[in-house]
Structures are given as C-alpha cells and as structure tokens.
C-alpha cells in the first residue's frame, strides 16, 4: 500500500468510527458537526470534478446546492399543507424525492452548462455567477416559499428500514453516500472520459486537433457535478430542516471553491479534507470570537498564495497525487 492509500484508509476509519468515538468521549454534538463535514464534502468533491479536472471555474455552483434543497423544501411544504403539486399529493419518501431532486439539478446543470460553455475564461466565471444570482433573486421573490426568510421543513424524508431522525443513522447514510459518490467520481476521472476532460484542460487546441469535441466532455462533467452538488443540497435540507436563498448566494459558491483549493484541487480526496478543515476552522473561530472573518479572510489569502497543492498535497507525495 502506498502512503496515499494509508491516508485514505485512516480518513475512512475516522468517518466510520466517529459516532462511537463521540459517544465514548461524551461529545454527541460531534456527530452533527461531522454530518456537516460529509454534506459539504459531497459538494466539494462534485465541484472538484469540473474545477480540478476540467478547469471550469464555476462561480455559481451554490445554485445547485440551493436548488436540490429547495426541491425537498417545496415538496415538503405542499405535502404538509395538503395542497399538492400539479395534482400530485406529494410524498416524504426519500427514494422518490431524492432522485427527483438530483435529476432536477442535473437538468438545470445541463441547461446552464450548455449556455455557459459558449464562453470561457472570465466570461465563464461571470455567466455562471449570473445564473446563480438569478436563482437567488427568484427564491427571494418567491414569497409563497418564505422569500428571504427561507422555508422550514417539518420532518426528514423517510427511507424504508432506517430511522433518519436518529442523528447517527443519518450520519451513516451521509457517509455511505459520500463513499459511493467518491468511488463514482474516481471511476469517472480515471476513465477514458476523464482523460479526455483532462487533456482539454491541459491543451485545448491539441485535444481538439486530436478529434475531441470539447462541449460534449465539459458539458457532461458540468452536469454530473451539478447533480452531485444537488445531492449535497438535498442532504443539507434534510439535516438542517431549513432551506433559504442564502444556500444559493455567491458567497456560498466562493466557500465551495475555497474548500476545493484548501484540500487540494484535482484529487477528489483532497476536497473532503478541505471541507472538513474549512468548516472545522469556521466552527473553532466562531466559538472564539464574533469577528472570526478577520482571521478567516487572511487565511483564505494565505491558502491561495502559499498552499500549492492543498492539505492533501502536504500529506501525499506528488507522484501519488491525482
């Protein structure tokens, strides 16, 4: 086994054993904190797919996070008050709702990606930002669903055989989804498709000359990434039992990017570490001072200036990276 395998195994062990550890040390809130880690890790891993492997800097990825959450929130809203949606009574079944929400995000990703990929460079950053802002203002304007104040959700969705209201059960479900998603993403970036995506990042002109049509690869990656981010939004809505337009704000997109960079871009595993470190640091700093941004801001600058390959890059030698 290489050093990288050991580190990944250690990370996996921490995640799997965490509820037991939390119980033993008498800090049950750790389970909630780590659930947040897991949810943001799914979003960060998804973003890494296009950021690290496709060099597509999406500044509006929070839109998919919010969209996934709002699908859950809106269905729950209509199910609870009995009004139904388009003649459908609604449901609390995760097996129906979650795929529906993820598919919605994938579809949104397909449309937004198709339009955005007509541009590149700074224009791409700005047009993805613009789509994110459009969704943000749409949600703020939807007074039916709480507008600016957001929408509270009464109870978590249900899965047959599992009690998702239990913190540990929900934690393990998120762990399982993260593991599955990471496995899928590793398979994607290691496949012929992933190679083509990377070659387009490294030298677009040469790849095109070799016969790769950029749009097909980049759009697929964008759509998959949107779906994964949507899944994270679904999990967040079920965890926090609350969705608000802030989930789609541009600062949130910035945070997701910061997690990817902090952990190490283009490694799939790195962003998991990045998400944990980012949220962990936020947690520690907010407990310490109200003005935690005074520290967090410069930390971001330092990460960018000096953190060449992120935290994961510090742990894993370069030849095993990627």
Partner 1 sequence: MLKFIEQALNGLQYSALLFLLSAGLTLVFGIMNVINLTHGSFYMVGAFCAAAAAAATGSFLAAIVAAVAGAGVYGLLVELLVIRHLYRRDHLDQVLATLGMVLFTNELVTVLFGRSPPFMDIPPALAGSVELLPGLAYPVMRLAFIGAGVVVAVGLWLLISRTRVGMLVRAGADDGEMVDALGVDVRRLFMLVFVMGALLCGFAGVMSAPLLAVQIGMGERILITAFVVIVIGGVGSVRGALIGSLVIGMSDAFGRAYIPLLLGRLMPSQLSDPLSSSLISASAYILMALVLLFRPLGLAPARH
299 binds partner 1 (CB under 8 A): yes
Q: Which of 75, 174, 261, 279 binds partner 1 (CB under 8 A)?
A: 261
286 binds partner 1 (CB under 8 A): no
**Interface positions, 54-113, toward partner 1 (CB under 8 A):** 57, 59
Residue 254 phi, psi dihedral angles, 5° rounding: -65, -40
CB environment 157-190: b (16+ within 10 A), e (fewer):
bbbeeeebeebbebbbbbbebbeebbeebeebbe
CB 165, CB 156: distance < 8 Å: yes
CB of 79 to partner 1, least distance (A): 22
287 binds partner 1 (CB under 8 A): no
CB of 5 to partner 1, least distance (A): 29
Helix (H) or strand (E) holding 156: none
CB of 258 to partner 1, least distance (A): 6
Size of the site for partner 1 (CB under 8 A): 44
CB of 73 to partner 1, least distance (A): 17
Q: Which of 7, 12, 110, 130 binds partner 1 (CB under 8 A)?
A: 130
Q: Which of 30, 125, 159, 241 binds partner 1 (CB under 8 A)?
A: 125
Q: Which of 291, 314, 317, 320 binds partner 1 (CB under 8 A)?
A: 291
45 binds partner 1 (CB under 8 A): no
Residue 237 C-alpha from the chain's centroid: 13
Helical spans, DSSP H, in the chain: 3-25, 29-54, 62-80, 94-116, 122-141, 167-190, 192-202, 204-209, 214-240, 250-263, 270-288, 293-306, 310-315
Please identify, among the stretches 17-25, 134-142, 184-192, 205-213, the one whose residues bind partner 1 according to the rule CB under 8 A.
134-142
Task: Please report, for residues 262, 275, 319, the alpha-carbon distance to residue 306 in angstroms, rounded to integers and kept in the order given.
Answer: 10, 18, 20
Q: Which of 84, 99, 190, 298 binds partner 1 (CB under 8 A)?
A: 298
Of 7, 15, 47, 31, the residue nearest 228 (C-alpha): 47
Please identify, among the stretches 2-10, 233-241, 252-260, 313-321, the one whose residues bind partner 1 according to the rule CB under 8 A.
252-260
CB 124, CB 57: distance < 8 Å: yes
CB of 225 to partner 1, least distance (A): 15
Please identify, among the stretches 42-50, 72-80, 141-149, 175-183, the one whose residues bind partner 1 according to the rule CB under 8 A.
141-149
d(CA 196, CA 121): 19
First to last CA, the chain: 16
CB of 294 to partner 1, least distance (A): 5
């Amino acid at each position: 086994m290489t050093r990288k395998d050991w580190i990944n195994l250690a990370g996996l062990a921490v995640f799997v054993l965490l509820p037991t550890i939390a119980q033993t040390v008498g800090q049950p809130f750790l389970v909630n904190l780590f659930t947040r880690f897991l949810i943001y890790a799914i979003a960060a891993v998804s973003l890494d797919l296009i950021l690290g492997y496709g060099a597509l800097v999406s500044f509006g990825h929070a839109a998919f996070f919010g969209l996934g959450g709002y699908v859950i929130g809106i269905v729950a809203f209509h199910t609870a008050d009995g009004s139904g949606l388009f003649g459908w009574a609604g449901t609390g079944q995760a097996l129906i709702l979650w795929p529906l929400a993820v598919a919605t995000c994938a579809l949104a990703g397909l449309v937004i990606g198709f339009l955005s990929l007509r541009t590149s460079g700074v224009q791409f950053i700005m047009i993805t930002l613009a789509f994110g802002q459009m969704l943000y203002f749409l949600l703020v304007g939807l007074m039916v669903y709480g507008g600016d104040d957001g929408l509270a959700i009464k109870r978590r969705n249900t899965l047959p055989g599992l009690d998702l209201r239990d913190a540990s059960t929900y934690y393990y479900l998120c762990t399982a989804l993260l593991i599955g998603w990471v496995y899928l993403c590793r398979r994607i970036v290691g496949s012929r498709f992933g190679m083509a995506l990377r070659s387009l990042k490294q030298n677009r002109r040469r790849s095109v000359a070799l016969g790769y049509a950029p749009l097909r690869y980049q759009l697929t990656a964008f759509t998959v990434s949107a779906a994964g981010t949507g899944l994270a939004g679904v999990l967040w809505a079920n965890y926090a039992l609350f969705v608000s337009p802030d989930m789609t704000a541009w600062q949130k997109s910035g945070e997701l990017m910061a997690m990817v960079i902090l952990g190490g871009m283009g490694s799939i595993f790195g962003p998991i570490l990045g998400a944990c470190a980012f949220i962990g640091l936020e947690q520690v700093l907010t407990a310490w001072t109200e003005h935690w941004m005074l520290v967090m801001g410069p930390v971001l600058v330092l990460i960018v200036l000096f953190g060449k390959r992120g935290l994961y890059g510090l742990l894993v030698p370069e030849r095993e990276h990627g």
